[in-house]
Amino acid sequence: MCSYNNIMDLSYELLCILFFIFNINTATCFSKFKTVTQSSGYSDSIFLDSLQLLQSYNYSSEKHVVVTEDGYKLNIFRIPRKGSPVLLVHGIGDSSDSWLVLGPKHSLAYQLADAGFDVWLFNARGNRYCKEHIKNISQKLFWDFSYEEIGSYDLPATVNYILSETRYSKVSYVGFSQGSTTFFVMCSMRPEFNKKINHAILLAPVAWLKHTKYPLIDFFSKSLNILTWIAETQQVYEAFPFNEKLNLYHASVCDTLSPVRMLCELELFVNFGLQKLSNLLPEKLPVITSHIPAGTSSKVFLHFIQGYSTQRFQRYDYGVSKNLEVYSSTFPPVYDVSLVSAPVTLVSSEVDWFSDVEDVSILKRKLNSVAKSVHINGSLQFTHLEFVYGARVNSVINKPVLNILEGLRKK
């Protein structure tokens, strides 16, 4: 039976949720959530950025600024070691934090560094770490990018920078979700970069979206014209920005002691199909959820929705007239993944809503350089977020990734 205090906490948190939904002044709730998270023992980790997370575990760390050909300033982070370089590339609306928030016992970045690899943590334009341009351009111009620009500008600039700094001729690549999409863009649109990739391990790879099981995808697809109109005319340029107040709310409701923890469970199920919070290290959930989302452009999401609507892995669709101007064609060209010649390992799960095994099979048939393809059995119920944030990530993901990279190092 609930105590009086628990009932009061429940009522208070539900009221605060309404404040968030209807954009009412949240100062009081902010203070309440801050108190709750401090009492949970995670207050420090909740507010730490990538460099601070690394430093909190006594890992050497560096920040590097990479400038792209089109003028975006990317802050990327490094755990310097004497071994060969490995680039970790985050998913949609995420950041370098994703490879760090679980700590050394579970996060891949620390384990790669412990194994002697020189670890580089990528950040895409538009996320919390990459909000600057070398010129004073308008917000409309700044946010006018999809995942194509991340793949054709951000990744190449980062790869070149790493190779210049380390004096290696190739970098190993680990990409999660959109981190695989942008890899395919880079290696198909700028095929010269295939020679700069030692091996690409692609976790929950996303290219074709024909069979995605995300429950709202049909709604978004049918509403695509309206969503595009809203983004363009109502100046909704940024999607899911990093927001400290919202992150504190997530940290509060996802705390193991929260009386409204079912809200955390519901959100993660609706968005990612997560069956049990225990699959995401419950004690780390306040830290995980206080670091996501990290922001991206609305155009990135529209581009993915277009892929589902057309059932093609293609460039951004601007409409007939602008397509003619940009592509000299009424339809956007497809990304020719047959040009990907760097060796790749594909890792997918049978219950992943976003990287469906049937779509991965389409991808695999079109690629010419698949060294290995791994399907995680559906009986494990291993969902999308678990590739990076999962309680079982060591045995299912990290150890196999380390084994592949260790094997390459011995050659």
Where are the extended beta strands (E) located within 51-195? 62-67, 72-79, 85-89, 118-121, 132-133, 171-176
Report the C-alpha gap between 259 and 271 in whole angstroms.
Answer: 21
With 0-12 / 13-18 / 19 or more C-beta atoms within 10 angstroms meaning exposed / middle / buried, residue 232 is middle
Report the C-alpha gap between 328 and 325 in whole angstroms.
Answer: 6
Half-sphere exposure (Cβ direction) of 151: Cα atoms closer than 13 Å: 27
Report the C-alpha gap between 59 and 79 in whole angstroms.
Answer: 7
Closest Cα partner for 112 from 344, 395, 405, 391?
405
| From 50, 177, 298, 373, active-site residue | 177
Amino acid, single-letter form, for residue 221:
S
Token output for 98: 């994703």
3-state percent helix, strand, coil for the chain, nearest multiple of 5: 50, 15, 35
The angle formed by the CA atoms of residues 58, 60 and 61, to the nearest 5 degrees, is 120
**Residue 286 per-residue DSSP state:** H
Do 84 and 172 meet the contact criterion of CB atoms below 8 Å apart?
Answer: yes
Closest Cα partner for 315 from 328, 336, 338, 333?
333
Active site residue 177: yes
Report the C-alpha gap between 269 and 122 in whole angstroms.
Answer: 27
| From 90, 291, 303, 384, active-site residue | 384
Q: Is 403 helix (H, G, I), strand (E, B) or coil?
A: helix
Catalytic residues: 177, 384
